Structure 1
């Protein structure tokens, strides 16, 4: 039975703005739309460029048509993705009669006239929940995009508690939708945030054609032989991006080489992204800043300059190219035999549709951050029972009491007969906007082998003890962090799935925990 006519009829307001230029639907859209039209909480797991965003937004728009206030909250993990979604969907939403806005660190204020749809990050959502308590009463829908990037981290746990606060304090009966790249267990992931009534897993893994090389002249010749005109190259550090830009500019037309990394100004990055959307040929060299799905057009192939630190990062990067092709075309630049083996290992996992299955472990630092956020939002105090209920997604009642007692001792909190209150010290922290982000020390670090003191290279990562990453094709674990140096130990000369079973998810508020909880925080 052809259900397309039925779907088209039900998408009364959104069909033409979203699908009019296509005239048909992708498999993930056909599978997803009926569930959301029926108001079911849904998680959608499918490969990149499969039409997931339209699959959830079109039917959800039908749920908020005619609403005068904020009705749909769309949470994405990065500022770049939030802004990209906003600009990409703004006119489509206007055609549906809906106003939208984006709220990130780049846009500090909510408009006087509320939008119907708000795009934001987890940290900005936290800030909004504290500072604008009256805007949520008409909310109907919450969307969690790229959930695989933040699940089982301090940011995912923060969203879990924020959703608990939202539904406990402001609004009931929400429809939830989550979007993800390929997940091993999408239902289990969704259950951490809402009660999923529909689990959509569509799309077979696309084959990865891997070409291993270690010479840039050879790579450029190969690109020309294959007639691959537009290519994205991923590096693991800004230093590599800058160095590679100079090297490639000597053997490829310099005016057709672009670079993109986090140290560039926002204006320069956005100009690069605009040129990539418009170009039909050229090479872009980037760090992880272009891993997440902002619109930069399609590429004929992806080049990975040395293996990324995890299998999931490998799949995220190659997914930026060949979006309309059957196979992924990937060139792996290796520095030694271990890196060759690492590329082959990552490719094998990708061809099987596998990513590292990470054991879930809540991060207790989120309890501290959310206690601060909750009390800042409620200067009149919060009773203990309510506090325990709010924190239940990330810690047991006994643990929450320990944390509160420790924060009392450190004079962040005070207790009166009517409940728990923030001290002036905590309120001042909130006024400065320093309580909404739990993102820890992040940046470029020199990697040093602990036993020998030998420098092993440089990586961009979160400086968390216990973290496992790949460098030079081998698996390392962080033992100690001192300023911009990571002291590591070698745990394997060959990457295996077992080494990616646990994710260190200690957020920036870990030092505020009681000592024994700091030591037992997940590694």
Structure 2
């Protein structure tokens, strides 16, 4: 079914179950929503059949837009897709975000990776470059559904569809592919983003969650603030557990910065000169620094990375040994996304939750209970006059 795409994306292995389920629908040109757990191969499930359609219909210009909600995810997807196609079609994947303006020409291009805001800008300033687009992939659609960014993106997709040049083959139709791991009411999402004729593919159950609660007051010193308490507790746990690489989530930039500063001293106090590398990742840092941290966490065997929600979605760092929650996220979707960053090559999410007092423990226990039962947050979509006003402008 996919003679050109299969060797590029699945060399030496068979597709995973979720991939095998969704690819026939996509390669036939049908708009499709895929709901599957984290680390189930959704990116390849969407892009491989779209690449086959690109080759089969002999498209000579950019044909596929991949929308990633964050710049970090866009960078990660770019690296993965570029590595898949580097031999067969070098240079056919590019990106355009607030940090990276790599997109120069649509000629001989297959896929452009963008953020929603970058796509909106491109469609307004360079519509001719997007005239050959036949497919739009919306990754992590749960982050956009129910938000103004999502409604804005749907308007942009409608504009792309309306401005697309006529295909040379009647079966070369425009399609939208959505992907999510944490959203409820899938039929409503499908109808709004793809239309009622779109395919809906569900697969799999969430991975097992191995939760360990850690009371930071057990290792605290007099005068310690929350960041210092968390840093001491985490450094002690890393030493006693022998865990080499962890991703630590904080809810705010100030919290992440304070925790990273406290960890610098705490790790040195426990490990001495053998302390693991310490990284900080959040949106206010320069693109160069964020990408340095992302590369280090992908390639180095040991490390501690403190992050805000910038690393919450999509980033494939397969050998993260545990996810640490220094603060409980505000909803079940964020909880699932954060814990899904770790142990992506296993069936178990290993989670360390830092807390103080019975209320802190209860919040983490409530979140993990909802996650295990699949009880997700309600998302209410509605029409926003402000977005219509922006479209008119």
User: Can you give the 5+ residue segments of structure 1 that lack an aligned partner in the other structure?
Assistant: 1-9, 373-523
Aligned residue in 2 for 1:73? 65
**Structure 1 position 187, deviation (Å):** 2.5
- 1:118 partner SS: strand
**Structure 1 position 351, deviation (Å):** 0.4
Normalization by structure 2: what TM-score?
A: 0.86
Compute the RMSD of aligned alpha carbons: 2.0
Q: Contact conserved, 2:51 with 2:110, CA < 8 A, in 1?
A: no
Aligned residue in 2 for 1:102? 95
Q: 1:76 to 1:275 in 2, by over 3 A?
A: same
1:489-508 correspondence runs (5 A): none
**Structure 1 position 161, deviation (Å):** 1.3
1:124-523 correspondence runs (5 A): 124-171=118-165, 173-195=173-195, 196-215=197-216, 216=230, 217-252=232-267, 253=271, 254=275, 256-372=277-393
- 1:362 partner SS: coil
1:41 pairs with one of 10, 17, 31: 31
More off after superposition, 121-130 vs 211-220? 211-220
CA distance in 1, matches of 2:131, 2:285: 39
**Structure 1 position 220, deviation (Å):** 3.7
Describe the superposition over 1:89-134 as per-residue Cα deviations: whole angstroms up to 9, x where unpaired: 1132343436121111224474145322211111111111111222
Q: Contact conserved, 2:206 with 2:372, CA < 8 A, in 1?
A: yes
User: Can you give the 5+ residue segments of structure 2 that lack an aligned partner in the other structure?
Assistant: 167-172, 217-229
Q: Contact conserved, 1:45 with 1:181, CA < 8 A, in 2?
A: yes
CA distance in 2, matches of 1:214, 1:68: 59
Aligned residue in 2 for 1:30? 20
Aligned residue in 1 for 2:170? none
Q: Contact conserved, 1:15 with 1:58, CA < 8 A, in 2?
A: yes
Q: Contact conserved, 1:258 with 1:272, CA < 8 A, in 2?
A: yes
Aligned residue in 1 for 2:221? none
Q: Contact conserved, 1:304 with 1:333, CA < 8 A, in 2?
A: yes
Q: Contact conserved, 1:153 with 1:362, CA < 8 A, in 2?
A: no
**Structure 1 position 316, deviation (Å):** 1.2
Normalization by structure 1: what TM-score?
A: 0.66
Aligned residue in 2 for 1:15? 6
More off after superposition, 221-230 vs 59-68? 221-230
**Structure 1 position 365, deviation (Å):** 1.0
Describe the superposition over 1:372-429 as per-residue Cα deviations: whole angstroms up to 9, x where unpaired: 1xxxxxxxxxxxxxxxxxxxxxxxxxxxxxxxxxxxxxxxxxxxxxxxxxxxxxxxxx
Q: Contact conserved, 2:31 with 2:194, CA < 8 A, in 1?
A: yes
Q: Contact conserved, 1:274 with 1:296, CA < 8 A, in 2?
A: no
Q: Contact conserved, 1:163 with 1:193, CA < 8 A, in 2?
A: no
Q: Which has the higher contact order (CA 8 A, sep 6+)?
A: 2
Aligned residue in 2 for 1:480? none
More off after superposition, 280-289 vs 290-299? 290-299
Q: For this pair of structures, how many residues does the alignment match?
A: 362
Q: 1:17 to 1:345 in 2, by over 3 A?
A: same
In terms of fraction of residues, the more helix-rich structure is 2
Aligned residue in 2 for 1:62? 52
**Structure 1 position 241, deviation (Å):** 2.0
Describe the superposition over 1:69-98 as per-residue Cα deviations: whole angstroms up to 9, x where unpaired: 111111111122222211221132343436
